[in-house]
Amino acid sequence: MSVSDTPGTTPPRRGRAVVTGGSGFLGSHLCTRLLADGYEVLALDSFLTGHARNVEHLRGVDGFELRTCDVSAYVDVPGPVDVVLHFASPASPVDYLRHPIETMKVGSLGTLNSLGLAKAKGARFLLASTSESYGDPLVHPQPESYWGNVNPVGPRSVYDEAKRFGEALTMAYRRTHGLDAKIVRIFNTHGPRMRPNDGRAIPAFATQALSGEPITVAGDGSQTRSIIFVDDLVEGIVRLLHSDLSGPVNIGNPHEVSMLSLAETIRDLVGSSSPITYVPRPQDDPSLRRPDITVAREQLGWEPRVGYLEGLSATIGYFAGHPELLAGVAR
């Protein structure tokens, strides 16, 4: 079901890929997939929220390199580059509220520098944007044509508006310089290598249930999200990368679930007796979230394949298999 942690027989090389944020949760899975597809991969990361352990399984793999680099300051990559995938950014509320300026910088200056690299190398470019660009949506489900409902000065705006700016900048480079640039809007994703304390619902619920602690649900738990397993997300990203589409393209699972139902399901899968408790909802927390994936389905031939319970079981299994994460030893 999951992307192999160790790429098998490597096919003929397809080129060289640069992945910013390559040691993050999503970036590490993307690096693994690109290597398996025959790319040489250079992962760049400042390690603000990423961690080298996420790509430890790639250490010594032919064609893989991990380099420390803050793309908000500069991007210098000698030699040819065929594709640039910009995934560097704090991506959970805990992270971007702790690092608001860094989040704005990587979404603006980091995107500018990554686009500049792609332009200089004549490379294809893909921006990792987000469903957060829709804000607290007034249209449901959300098609790519929806412009969103974002509070531009609220605490979450540092992430939302950074991504929206990155999208605008990407399209400006496409129109002005003819850059082969693409935008993917990523919906809530889960899977192995998530950090247990990054503030997102699934790792929080899973680690609380596994530890027998109260499961904390924000508000009354009626707010919804649509969650996708990381393997399905990576497949959609790769299909977009190799397509003629520019996007934005929604990649997410239209299976919508309330946060209370999600908490109860995870508790049942763990077999835990943890009580569910309620905490205040964060400011500007979206009430609804579900992607319209018509474009991805019809033009990329893509839709999620991993079942809801199957994916959750895999993510829970990852945390259960790494007790040192539950103990708070790792960041």
| Spans of all domains in the chain | 15-193+228-254+286-305
Check 159, 173, 308, 318 and give the catalytic one. Answer: 159
- Mean pLDDT, each 10-residue run in order, the chain (331 residues): 45 86 97 97 96 94 97 96 97 89 97 98 98 96 97 94 98 98 97 91 95 95 96 98 97 96 97 95 92 98 97 96 64 36
3-state DSSP assignment of residue 40:
strand
Q: What is the pTM of this model?
A: 0.93
Asked whether 118 and 124 are in contact (CB, 8 A), the reply is yes
Structure tokens at 107: 């979404």
Cα gap 141→178, rounded to integer Å: 32
Cβ proximity of 233 and 26 under 8 Å: yes
Does residue 248 have a cis peptide bond before it, meaning omega lies within 30 degrees of 0? yes
Q: What pLDDT is attached to residue 326?
A: 67
> What DSSP letter does each residue of 53-98 carry, written as one string?
GGGGGGTT-TTEEEEE--TTT-----S--SEEEE--S--SHHHHHH
DSSP secondary structure code for residue 135 in this structure? B
Question: Could you tell me if 230 and 29 are in contact, meaning their C-beta atoms sit under 8 angstroms apart?
Answer: yes
Q: What type of residue sits at position 95? A: D
Q: Is 159 a catalytic residue?
A: yes
Which CATH number describes the domain made up of 15-193+228-254+286-305? 3.40.50.720
* Cα–Cα distance, 20 to 47 (Å, whole number): 11
Quick: pLDDT tens for 137-185.
999 999 999 999 999 999 999 999 999 999 999 999 999 999 999 999 9
Helical pair 201-211 and 308-320, crossing angle rounded to 10 deg: 60
Q: What is the pLDDT of residue 322?
A: 80
pLDDT at 323: 75
Per DSSP, which regions of the chain are E strands? 15-20, 39-45, 64-68, 83-86, 124-130, 181-186, 189-190, 215-218, 224-226, 228-229, 249-251, 256-258, 276-279
